[in-house]
Amino acid sequence: AAELGSTKALFNLGAAYYEGDDIQQDEAKAAEFFTKAAMQGHVLSRHNLGCIEGDKGNHDRAVRHFLISAKMGDIDSVENIRKAFIRGVATKEQYAEALKGYQDAVEEMKSHDRDEAKRIRNGR
């Protein structure tokens, strides 16, 4: 399915490589699969790319990934930008942009879509 471009399959492969579930842990391969899924609009993949970049100390790149996923409705990305702001590696403007983008995304979602997003997010 991943070879056919399934975002869910790409995300699952990225997660397996990142965690080392039943395969050799490989952060570079994880990032490769997360990137492919993120380019197709997969929110959790984009969030995970932010986490990977943050762990590497690439805070600017991490914040950019979190901004994108926050604007797609990911509250965890907003929280990560808040923490980055507190640590001094994100600006007040970036935090405000993340909050506004998240709020706009939530407003745009219909209640069914919002319920589905919560279900998926809580099922991580």
Sign (positive or negative) of CA dihedral 65, 71, 76, 79: positive
The gap from C-alpha 117 to its chain's centroid, in whole angstroms, comes to 13
* Cβ within 8 Å of residue 106, ≥6 positions away: 73, 114
Can you give the pLDDT at residue 120?
76
pTM as predicted: 0.83
What's the confidence (pLDDT) of residue 116?
72
Q: Domain range holding 73?
A: 1-123
With a CB cutoff of 8 Å and minimum separation 6, the contacts of 74 are: 43, 44, 46, 47, 102, 121
pLDDT, mean of each 10-residue run, the chain (124 residues): 78 95 93 96 97 96 98 97 97 98 89 67 67
CATH number for the domain harbouring residue 50: 1.25.40.10
Which pLDDT value is given to residue 78? 98
Total domains present in the chain: 1
